[in-house]
Structure 1
Amino acid sequence: MNTHLALRVRQWIHQDPDSQHSQQLQALLDNNNQAALTPLFAGRLAFGTAGIRGVVGPGPMHMNRLLVRQTSAGLGRYLTEQVKDAQQRGVIIGYDGRHDSKQFAEDAASVLLAMGFQVKLTYQVAATPLIAFGVKHFNAAAGIVVTASHNPPQYNGYKVYWENGAQIIPPHDSGIAACIDALADSDISLMALEHAHANGQLEWLQQDYYECYQAAVIQAPELTNHTRPQSVSLSYTAMHGVGAPLAITLLKQAGFTQVYSVAAQQFPDGNFPTVTFPNPEEPGAMDLVIAEAKAHSALLACANDPDADRFAVAVRTDTGEYQMLTGDQVGVLLGHYLLTHAKGNRGLVGNTIVSSSLLAKITEAIGGQSYTTLTGFKWLMNIGQQRQSEQQPFLFAYEEALGYTIGSTVWDKDGLSAQLAFAQLTAELASQGYTLWDRLSAIYREFGLHLNAQVSIKLEPSTPNIGEHLRAHPPRDIDGVAIESIDDIKCGLRRLADGRELAIDLPSSDVLIYRLVNGSRVIVRPSGTEPKIKCYYEVITTMAPSESLASAHRRASQQMEAFIKAHQASLPRA
């Protein structure tokens, strides 16, 4: 066996607190199984803007206790260097219901306590929004959530919030990663939680803290519309996650009395036994909550993902069936609702470059201010904090992947408050004799029906680099429709058809955006690591006053199908 590899494996085993993983590695070492050990030690899970996430298993390429300890040591050093009074201000830590999450959270706490940090650790599983809320609430230096969100059961992760309560962005991600690497081979000191609690360095966040979050949500000005909540019925699922206690309590506190929870999915279960993939966007994931809604003829079938930072909803139709709303449709409905209820119809509203362009048009028409960021809530929240003002306070942001932020109570996506806001919107419409479909139709009639779709294509290794090809050979039209402008986010320029160039105020990213003269749009994000690209499409069609939503949607879908087919045909192939 390679001597260097064997040395690395022995060093890892020496430090690893997980006896099962250590035994697995030792057996491979004893059997001289270099083929099995090499991929486990090919590098380490990279720390990025979402922290780390991966399959639980032995070695630095997996999520495990030693990796969590090393990550926490690196984070602790970086915080000490970058944040004033970081140790006194401390770190708040929470965790989801996955099998290893509690142990990982306690490992992180033990490392930071030994480094002199004050630590606040939730006494039981916690929804991710509670930790983002807690960073600002306690004026902490940072927050950590051990969660893999809606990934499959074998995954776990480690998510970091900065002192502003938002997810970290550059340069903090690379700074933390450098500190982790610098300490990776060092022995890591630990402090027993019992000892830390006895000396006042560790505080267990008890039920009163969870109630503090509930009170902050209920009292948020954006969530005080209590128009006939008892008239709305809804089913709810936590999808084997941690959201049920808070989600149900918040709805009841706001007056919603007809709430029917899916019992089989109500409690945390890291095996996620009733769903193939615990993501509300995946086919079949909403089946049980829709069945629960049908059993009670409920208006809504609602879901949080397992860490409760996302929200999904299916809405009853005239036929009694239930239709899922897309993330863009929910975002547009919530944004319109919040803007029309805000003081002076003002407010700062944001979404990402791959989300629908409709919300920005609504915001401008109503009198608010909009902004657009790169994909990810780390950008939505950090830019939102920078852009807000007394004249245009932050109001709402969303991304199409079912993430929504209501007001400034939590500076991250929050599926609990989003669900409450959506229920309140539904109740107000019902009190006026309208449905969500009526509201959506009215918005489309005023601004055009905006339909969005995504296509992910795995290409052959021999396929030319798509980004380089498109930059070298910029198209002038797609399916005969002229291109009005091309945004190249990598170089920060918008190139107009008349030859002018305008600067784009976005961080550099390998993204190309094509806007057509008929209002359609396509965004291309080539992968730099594998032969794969993602294409995001938007088409817009007018909706006549007498036309049904179903009819307009059929037309838009036909237009979308032709648009995608023409664009895909124009891309270079192997």
Structure 2
Amino acid sequence: MNTHLQHQIHQWLQQDPDPSTQAQLQTLLDNQDETALTAMFSGRLAFGTAGLRGEVGPGPMGMNRLVVRQTTAGLGAYLLAQINDAASRGVIIGYDGRHDSYAFAHDAASVLTAMGITVRLTTRVAATPLVAFGVKHFNAAAGIVVTASHNPPQYNGYKVYWENGAQIIPPHDSGIAAQIQHAASQSIPFISLDDAQKQAKLIWLEDDFYHTYREGIHTSSVLQQHANTQPVSLAYTAMHGVGADMAEAVLKDAGFTQVYSVAAQREPDGDFPTVNFPNPEEKGAMDLVIAEAKKHQAMLACANDPDADRFAVAVRTAENDYKMLTGDQVGVLFGEYLLSHAPAHQRLVGTTIVSSSLLSKVAQSMQATCYTTLTGFKWLMNVGINKCEADNQFLFAYEEALGYTVGSMVWDKDGLSALVAFAQLCAELATKNQTVWDKLEQIYRQHGFHLNAQVSIALKPDTPNIGEHLRQQPPVSIAGLAVTSSDDLRQSLRTFSDGSTAVIDLPKSDVLIYCLENGARVIVRPSGTEPKIKCYYEVVETMTTTDTWAAAQQRAEQTMDKFIKAHQASLPS
């Protein structure tokens, strides 16, 4: 084994506070497993705009207590340099139910308080939206939530909120990363939480904090549509995460009495024993909650992901079966419902480039403003905050990956307020003797049946650079449809078919968007993390007066199939 690697490992072992990761490393050393050790020490788990996320394990490439301490020391140094009163405003920390989350959160608190920064730490597990809420509520300098959201059990993560209550965006991500790099070569400040408390640097967030968030949902101005709640019944799962107590409480506050929790998935469990991949979008993840809904003949089968920032729902059909709504369908239902009640000064809604274009059409028809951002709630919220004006306040934003923000209490996606809002939306429809399906059909009849699909293409090592190929030979038509405009987000430039151009007001990103005749759209996005590209497709079918939903959907699906095949065939392989 080379001496540089040996030196790195011994240095790490001297600082690693965790006996279990120490033992794992020692075993690999004893077995002379150079391949595994080289991988563990090949770099550092990258800190980016989602903070950290990776598999739990020893060494700088894993999620472990030393990486968390080094990351926190870097974050603390950055906060003290960037924000004048960071030490007194402090940092709020919460964590999910994964095996290491408690230790990681407590370590982070010990490091920050040792640096003189006040910490507010939750006394028990907390849904991610509570931490985002807490940043604004306490006017904190930042927030940290230890969570790997809906990733498989072997993962954990460390997510950072800036002082505005939204997830960090550039340049803060690279600024923090540089400070972490520096902190990793120093000794890390650390005091016990008992000492931190004696020095009045640690404040425990107990039941009253959780109650403040709960009360915030109950009194939220956008959640005051009190239609008769009696007709709404729903099954609910927390998916072995941290959402159940709060989800049941906020539903009860809003008057929903027929709520049936899936007992087998109600309590936090870092092993996720009943679900392979605790993401409501994954096949099979909703099976137990749909079974519970069937048992009670409930109207809805609802889920939060394990940190309760995302919301998924399956709705009973006329045939007494349950069908999942897509994120885009929930997004447009929310947009239409919330705009129909919103005051004149609160009509700002947002979505992302890869989500359906339907929300912007609904917003336009309802005299509202819809903005579009790059993918991710960090962009949706930071842009939303910047676009707010006294006479145009933020109302709602969503992305197709089941993330929704209803109102401005939390500047991140919140699966708990979304759960209440969706139940209220269904209660209002019931008073008009309508179902969710009736409402969607009404929207589709007005604006066209919108169908969206996503395809990932694995690239061979010798596949030519698809982005470069498309930039050098811009398509004039795709699948027989003329390209009406092309957006290159790397150049911030939109080019129309007549050759004229316009500047796009979005951060630079390796994304190409083609708008076609008949309202169709293709987005090509090389993956930042894997050797593949992602293509997002949208087709729009006009619904005639004699059309049924089924007929329009069938046409849209046929169009989509042809569209995807023709587009994929046109790409270099």
Same fold (TM over 0.5): yes
1:9 Cα shift? 0.5
Partner amino acid for 2:483?
I
2:419 maps to what in 1? Answer: 419
SS at match of 1:482: strand
Q: Is the 8 A contact 1:278 1:285 kept in 2?
A: yes
User: Partners in 2 of 1:548 and 1:357 — Cα distance?
Assistant: 22
The more displaced of 552-561 and 52-61 is 552-561
Aligned residues: 573
Task: State the Cα distance separating 1:372 from its structure 2 match.
Answer: 0.4
Contact kept? 1:525, 1:533, Cα under 8 Å: yes
Residues 404 and 413 in structure 1, CA contact (< 8 A), matched pair in contact too: yes
Shift of 1:320: 0.1
Cα drift, residue 346 of structure 1: 4.6
- Residues 32-70 of structure 1 show CA distances to partners (whole Å, capped at 9, x for unaligned) of 332221000000100000000000001011000000000
For the Cα contact (< 8 Å) 2:145–2:159, is it kept in 1? yes
**Which piece of structure 1 moves more, 474-483 or 23-32?**
23-32
Change (3 A) 1:447 1:517: same
Partners of 2:303 and 2:505 lie apart in 1 by 35
**CA deviations over 1:465-507 (Å, ceiling 9, x no partner):** 0000110111110121110010000000001100001100000
Distance 2:33 2:437 in 1: 60
Partner of 1:71 in structure 2? 71
Alpha carbons 2:487, 2:512 under 8 Å: kept: yes
Whole-Å separation in 2 of the counterparts to 1:397 and 1:530: 28
Alpha-carbon shift at residue 560 of structure 1 (Å): 0.7
Change in CA separation of 1:232 and 1:528 when aligned onto 2, cut-off 3 Å = closer
Deviating more after overlay: 17-26 vs 171-180: 17-26
TM-superposition CA deviations, 1:531-555 (whole Å, max 9, x none): 3100000000011234222221111
Percent identical pairs in the alignment equals: 67
Alignment match, 1:510:
510
Matching of residues 446-465 of structure 1 within 5 Å: 446-465=446-465
Please tell me whether residue 535 in structure 1 is matched to residue 566 in structure 2. no
Matches within 5 A, 1:62-101: 62-101=62-101
Does structure 1 residue 360 correspond to structure 2 residue 385?
no
Q: 1:310 maps to which residue? A: 310
SS at match of 1:518: helix
My pick for the range that moved more, 221-230 or 156-165, is 221-230
3-state SS of 1:73 partner: helix
The amino acid of 2:363's aligned partner reads: T
> Partner of 1:361: helix, strand, or coil?
helix
CA shift, 1:90, in A, is 0.4
Distance in 1 (alpha carbons) for counterparts of 2:32 and 2:432? 73
Report the CA distance between 1:528 and its aligned residue: 5.4
1:260 corresponding residue in structure 2: 260
**Separation in structure 1 between the aligned mates of residue 264 and residue 551 of structure 2, nearest angstrom:** 37
Alignment of 1:523-562 (within 5 A): 523-527=523-527, 530-562=530-562
Shift of 1:120: 0.4
After TM superposition, give the deviation of residue 201 of structure 1 in Å.
Answer: 1.4
Counterpart check, 1:383 vs 2:383: yes
State how far apart, in whole Å, the 2-side matches of 1:261 and 1:460 are. 45
Q: In structure 2, what is the Cα distance between the partners aligned to 1:217 and 1:7?
A: 53
Partner amino acid, structure 1, of 2:329 = Q
Shift of 1:92: 0.3
Deviation at 1:388, TM superposition (A): 1.0
Instruction: Note the residue ranges of structure 2 that are not aligned, 5 or more in a row.
Output: none
Structure 2 SS opposite 1:229: coil
Normalization by structure 1: what TM-score?
A: 0.99
Q: Show the counterpart of 1:319.
A: 319
- SS of the aligned residue for 2:485 comes to strand
Give me the whole-angstrom Cα distance separating, in 2, the residues matched to 1:304 and 1:542: 34
Q: Secondary structure at the match of 1:109?
A: helix
Taking a change above 3 Å as real, the CA distance of residues 158 and 528 of structure 1, as seen in their structure-2 partners, is: closer
Unaligned runs of 5+ in 1: none
Instruction: Give 1:497's aligned residue.
Output: 497
- Partners of 1:293 and 1:527 in 2: CA distance: 37
**2:326 counterpart letter in structure 1:** T
C-alpha distance in 1 between matches for 2:51 and 2:141: 16
Q: Paired residue for 2:471?
A: 471
AA in 2 matched with 1:223 = L
Task: State the one-letter code of the partner of 1:402.
Answer: L
Q: 1:345: Cα distance to partner?
A: 8.0
**Is the aligned partner of 1:292 residue 2:292?**
yes
Task: List per-residue Cα deviations over 1:116-165 (Å, max 9, x = no partner).
Answer: 01100000000000000000100000000000000000000000000000
Confirm whether residue 329 of structure 1 aligns to residue 329 of structure 2. yes
Amino acid paired to 1:103:
A
Contact 1:346 1:367 in 2 (8 A): no
Aligned partner of 1:397: which letter?
A: A
TM-score of the pair, normalised by structure 2: 0.99
Aligned twin of 1:397: 397
Deviation of the 1:304 alpha carbon:
0.1
Q: Distance in 1 between matches of 2:24 and 2:201?
A: 36
Q: Deviations over 1:163-190 (max 9, x none)?
A: 0000000000000000000111211121
Q: 1:220 to 1:427 in 2, by over 3 A?
A: same
SS in 2 for 1:23: helix
TM alignment of 1:94-133, pairs within 5 A:
94-133=94-133
Matched-pair contact (CA < 8 Å) for 1:46–1:52: yes
Moved more, 541-550 or 386-395: 541-550
> Is the contact made by 1:345 and 1:368 (CA closer than 8 Å) also made in structure 2?
no
Partner Cα distance (1:345, 1:295) in 2: 44
Contact conserved, 2:345 with 2:392, CA < 8 A, in 1? no
Deviation at 1:529, TM superposition (A): 5.8
Check whether the contact 2:351–2:380 (CA below 8 A) recurs between aligned residues: yes
**Equivalent-residue separation in structure 2 for 1:527 and 1:28 (angstroms):** 33
Query: Cα RMSD over matched residues?
Result: 1.0
Kept after mapping to 1: 8 A contact 2:127/2:243: yes
